[in-house]
């Protein structure tokens, strides 16, 4: 019998929410999140107040575009604000304490039928960023100069230069 091909299937027992599901988009791709999706670009600063590192998530192989690095995030629940959804997802996937997050701005990729909001936030306390569910192979603070050297999620790779410019 031949070995199965493609990414491993989604593990049983993962949390599900009403916004989970695929949206077929006019761009020719399908996107996760029936009500859109959001992710948290959390940065920490050095003693001079300059951004020095961001939290990145190494996506599980079974996930869409698995094995790549991006920011923690996911589908929004019905009526959920992107800022709230991004912080919730970062807590679920990367152990980020919402009390230590200061949202500064957002950037929206709008495809009409679907949108993705990147929520840019500063860490106001120390965070032990780590995998806290099965959606992550790893979670790490990554120096800004090292971000492009990782195998990035293609959409995050395309957005990174403009997102980097938003950090102090």
Is the domain defined by 22-165 classed in CATH 3.90.79.10? yes
pLDDT tens string 11-45: 444 556 788 777 788 788 887 777 888 999 999 99
What is the Cα–Cα distance from 137 to 112, expressed in whole angstroms?
32
Q: Which of 56, 15, 28, 81 is nearest to 144 (CA)?
A: 56
Distances in Å between the Cα of 22 and the Cα atoms of 49, 64, 74, 75, 116 are 39, 11, 12, 9, 13
Regarding pTM above 0.75, the answer is yes
Six-digit token string for 132: 């806290």
Residues 53/132, Cβ–Cβ less than 8 Å = no
Per-residue pLDDT at 144 exceeds 80: yes
pLDDT tens string 67-105: 899 999 998 999 999 999 999 999 999 999 999 999 999
Buried b (16+ CB within 10 A) or exposed e, 28-59: eeebbbbbbbbbbbbbbeeeeeebbbbbbbbb
Q: If you average pLDDT over residues 107-121, what whole number do you get?
A: 90
More confident residue, 163 or 135: 163
Instruction: Give the pLDDT of residue 15.
Output: 53
Confidence of residue 135 (pLDDT cuts 50, 70, 90): confident
């Amino acid at each position: 019998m031949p070995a199965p091909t493609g990414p491993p299937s989604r593990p049983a027992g993962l949390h599900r929410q009403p916004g989970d599901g695929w949206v077929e988009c006019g761009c020719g791709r399908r996107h996760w999140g029936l009500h859109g999706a959001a992710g948290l670009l959390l940065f920490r600063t050095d003693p001079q107040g300059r951004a020095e590192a961001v939290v990145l998530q190494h996506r599980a192989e079974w996930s869409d575009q698995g094995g790549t690095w991006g920011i923690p995030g996911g589908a929004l629940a019905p009526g959920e604000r992107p800022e709230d959804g991004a912080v919730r997802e970062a807590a679920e996937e990367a152990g980020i304490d919402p009390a230590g997050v200061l949202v500064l701005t957002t950037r929206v990729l709008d495809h009409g039928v679907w949108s993705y909001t990147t929520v840019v936030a500063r860490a106001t306390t120390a965070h032990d960023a780590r995998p806290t569910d099965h959606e992550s192979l790893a979670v790490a603070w990554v120096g800004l100069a090292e971000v492009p050297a990782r195998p990035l999620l293609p959409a995050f790779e395309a957005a990174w230069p403009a997102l980097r410019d938003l950090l102090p």
